[in-house]
């Protein structure tokens, strides 16, 4: 036995107290927690039923305007993270509401954002001088440090799921933000300019990417759904995912965003996935259909517009009662870039 192993606890405790005054601590007391044999996330599986959340979201419109709030959002807080504004360790998620005639003022920040449209029609987002109308199921990107504002020229409430890398940027101490001097930014390009330039299997002849974020900032659901339906005919079903696709950057073929990976998957009626887990904690939004997901020891019965989260390295299994479509996002691009991402597949 070493001298350290034979020291009584009292002597060790006194030693720890003395070195604490010098901002020192013994690694051997925390080594196994700091370097665990497998991920030990405090995040827990959680499920937000849209029919339960929606009344509170609508009530918020009577309490504060979009202009006063800047962004009228109800944060989806992971119950395991002690009130942090986070759904996983690296990601933020929230439901944003904008009412007819409102404008969410223009600003920019280093955090990257996605919008997945949940409910309504007629609202738009403007990104760095270009406007796009948003429809349910659309995947919309706000790249880091780009001016963006939202407005609603239609009727009825408009709701979307916000996903941002706020916790990751906070962890890196790299957050900056700035307000635009006017409520709306001036538009410099006609609506539809980005899909014309980058979304037709073409690129401008002299195009040189200046960002790792996709130059396409709206991926319409109508096109996405059509692609899934055409691929259904090939019946190339993955046992763990059904038919799952990644939203891609047309300029690079990589992820649409450098810090957040976004995915869409089709589960046909009666399909049950094999157990699966990966190191990227994943946020799911139900686009179509009903079904059930088992995540770790929790079982969630979901319906359209619900949101649920699978923590890092938690076993997950999905079952579709009828044809179902799930949108999801995670920090997989970061983990892949750092060589950290892992997955494990189970058997039926």
pLDDT per residue as tens digits for the range 169-188: 999 999 999 999 999 999 99
Cβ neighbours of 199 (radius 10 Å): 17
Across the range 48-70, mean pLDDT stands at 98
Q: How confident is the model at residue 210 (pLDDT cuts 50, 70, 90)?
A: confident
Q: Does the pLDDT value for residue 251 go beyond 80?
A: yes
Q: How confident is the model at residue 149 (pLDDT cuts 50, 70, 90)?
A: very high
Q: Does the pLDDT value for residue 320 go beyond 60?
A: yes
Q: pTM for this one?
A: 0.95
The rounded percent of the chain whose pLDDT value lies above 70 is: 98
Residue 133's DSSP bridge partners are 124
Q: How confident is the model at residue 267 (pLDDT cuts 50, 70, 90)?
A: very high
> Nearest-CA neighbor of 113 among 256, 244, 209, 286?
256
- Domain ranges across the chain: 46-345
Across the range 234-256, mean pLDDT stands at 95
Q: Does the pLDDT value for residue 5 go beyond 60?
A: no
Cβ–Cβ < 8 Å for 177, 194: no
Average pLDDT, the chain: 95
Cβ–Cβ < 8 Å for 257, 213: yes
Q: Does the pLDDT value for residue 96 go beyond 90?
A: yes
Q: What is the pLDDT, as a whole number, of residue 9?
A: 84
Q: Does the pLDDT value for residue 339 go beyond 70?
A: yes
Q: What is the pLDDT, as a whole number, of residue 235?
A: 83
Across the range 143-148, mean pLDDT stands at 97
> Nearest-CA neighbor of 241 among 104, 346, 143?
346
Across the range 313-342, mean pLDDT stands at 98
Q: What is the pLDDT, as a whole number, of residue 348?
A: 78
Q: What is the pLDDT, as a whole number, of residue 1?
A: 46
Across the range 226-242, mean pLDDT stands at 94
Cβ–Cβ < 8 Å for 115, 63: no
Task: Judge: domain 46-345, CATH 2.60.120.10.
Answer: yes
The rounded percent of the chain whose pLDDT value lies above 90 is: 93
Q: Does the pLDDT value for residue 7 go beyond 80?
A: no
Distances (CA, A) of 158 to 59, 66, 99, 119, 305: 14, 12, 6, 6, 13
Instruction: Write the DSSP assignment of 46-85 as a string of letters.
Output: EEE-HHHHHHHHHHHHHH--HHHHSS-EEE---GGGTT-S
């Amino acid at each position: 036995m070493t001298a350290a192993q034979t020291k009584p606890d009292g002597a060790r405790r006194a030693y720890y107290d003395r070195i604490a005054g010098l901002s020192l601590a013994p690694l051997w007391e925390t080594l196994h927690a700091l370097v665990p044999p497998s991920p030990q996330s405090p995040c827990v599986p959680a499920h937000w039923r849209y029919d339960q959340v929606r009344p509170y979201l609508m009530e918020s419109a009577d309490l504060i305007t979009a202009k006063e709030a800047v962004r009228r959002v109800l944060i989806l807080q992971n119950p395991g993270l002690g009130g942090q504004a986070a759904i996983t360790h690296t990601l933020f998620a929230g439901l944003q509401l904008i009412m007819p005639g409102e404008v969410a003022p223009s600003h920019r920040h280093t955090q990257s954002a996605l919008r997945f449209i949940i409910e309504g029609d007629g609202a738009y987002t403007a990104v760095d001088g270009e406007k796009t109308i948003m429809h349910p199921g659309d995947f919309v990107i706000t790249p880091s440090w780009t001016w963006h504002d939202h407005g609603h020229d239609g009727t009825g409430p408009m709701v979307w799921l916000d996903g941002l890398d706020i916790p990751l940027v906070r962890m890196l101490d790299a957050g900056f933000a700035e307000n635009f001097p006017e409520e709306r930014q001036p538009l410099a390009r006609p609506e539809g300019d980005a899909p014309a330039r980058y979304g037709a299997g073409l690129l401008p002849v002299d195009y040189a990417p200046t960002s790792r974020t996709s130059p396409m900032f709206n991926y319409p659901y109508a096109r996405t759904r059509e692609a899934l339906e055409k691929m259904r005919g090939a019946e190339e079903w993955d046992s763990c995912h059904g038919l799952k696709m990644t939203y891609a950057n047309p300029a690079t073929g990589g992820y649409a965003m450098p810090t957040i990976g976004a995915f869409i998957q089709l589960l046909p009626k009666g399909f049950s996935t094999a157990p699966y887990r990966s190191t990227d904690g994943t946020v799911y939004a139900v686009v179509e259909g009903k079904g059930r997901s088992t995540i770790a020891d929790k079982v969630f019965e979901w319906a359209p517009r619900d949101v649920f989260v699978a923590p890092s390295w938690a076993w997950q299994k999905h079952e579709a009662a009828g044809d179902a479509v799930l949108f999801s996002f995670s920090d997989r691009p970061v983990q892949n870039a750092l060589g950290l991402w892992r997955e494990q597949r189970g058997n039926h």
